[in-house]
């Protein structure tokens, strides 16, 4: 039996929603009746996903497009201000945007990559949460942060990414503890495993063939017999965002990894 969520009249901001997991999340919320805000750094990709959201919306609601760089606080301000000016409120914030780079501590550009990844994966989440609290308090809304199984597993050449995600998990718990009693805002995080997107090409400089091979390998390792799809994570986000279905969940770090953590190190 499929689950049909109803987010009619809800306003949902999804960062990094111009491709991959974020695009899948945006489309599911649009299909469920929400007003969605699609944002990313590439205007053409933002427009493409926004059109897809409008097409699946039951009432053909026009998705709001905001092009910007989340490492820039002015762009973060514009994202939130434009959303409120357009829709008058914010109900759900999905902090999905993330980046990774291969680097070792003795690389000459390690600190440059470290700073960029922390700005993208952690600082932007902290800043947007800070900006959204007044609006989410009014709607008794909630926040979902997209973390990673990398928050639980060390890495020798991907340390900034893993550090940023571990910090994101703790930020999630701290905000749940702080914002629940004070503002009735729920805050949760999701830990995806390998999800078939372009991330391996952008973070590890793999070509399409190499990326596909890496994902295909998970079919032999993951207990579910396949890598994740954006829809898998989108379904988990929708569940956590629903006050009806998940109203008792806050401060939770929900693992949606196809069994990655269960078998890591075994094969």
Identify the H or E element spanning 177.
helix 159-183
Q: What is the CA radius of gyration of the chain?
A: 18
Composition of the chain by helix, strand, coil, percent to 5: 50, 15, 35
228 DSSP 8-state letter: B
* Cα distances (Å, whole numbers) of residue 88 to 81, 139, 172: 10, 11, 26
Strand, coil or helix: what is 209?
helix
25, exposed or middle or buried, with CB in 10 Å at 0-12, 13-18, 19+?
Answer: buried
Question: CA 144, CA 256: separation in Å to the nearest integer?
Answer: 13
Strand-pair partners of 263 = none
Structural contact between residues 93 and 80, judged by C-beta atoms closer than 8 angstroms = no
Is 161 tagged catalytic?
yes
Which one from 161, 194, 222, 239 is the annotated catalytic residue? 161
3 state SS for 6-52 = CCCCCEEEECCCCCHHHHHHHHHHHHCCCEEEEEECCHHHHHHHHHH
Catalytic center residues:
161
């Amino acid at each position: 039996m499929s689950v049909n969520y109803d987010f009619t009249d809800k306003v949902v901001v999804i960062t990094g929603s111009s491709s991959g997991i974020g695009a899948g999340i945006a489309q599911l919320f649009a299909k469920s009746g929400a007003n969605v805000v699609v944002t990313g750094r590439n205007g053409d990709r933002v427009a493409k996903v926004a059109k897809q959201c409008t097409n699946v919306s039951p009432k053909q609601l026009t998705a709001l497009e905001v092009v910007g760089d989340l490492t820039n606080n002015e762009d973060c301000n514009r994202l939130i201000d434009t959303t409120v000016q357009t829709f008058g409120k914010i109900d759900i914030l999905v902090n999905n945007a993330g980046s990774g780079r291969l680097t070792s501590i003795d690389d000459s550009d390690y600190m440059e990559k470290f700073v960029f990844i922390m700005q993208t994966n952690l600082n932007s989440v902290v800043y947007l949460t800070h900006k959204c609290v007044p609006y989410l308090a009014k709607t008794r809304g909630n926040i979902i942060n997209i973390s990673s199984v990398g928050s639980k597993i060390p890495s020798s050449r991907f340390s900034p990414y893993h550090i940023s995600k571990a910090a994101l998990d703790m930020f999630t718990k701290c905000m749940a503890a702080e914002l629940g009693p004070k503002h009735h805002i729920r805050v949760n995080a999701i830990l995806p495993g390998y999800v078939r997107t372009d991330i391996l090409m952008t973070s590890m400089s793999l070509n399409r063939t190499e990326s596909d091979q890496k994902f295909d390998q998970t079919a032999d390792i993951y207990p579910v017999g396949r890598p994740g799809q954006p829809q898998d994570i989108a379904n988990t986000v929708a569940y956590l965002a629903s006050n009806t279905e998940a109203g008792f969940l806050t401060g939770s770090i929900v693992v949606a990894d196809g069994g990655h953590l269960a078998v890591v190190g075994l094969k």
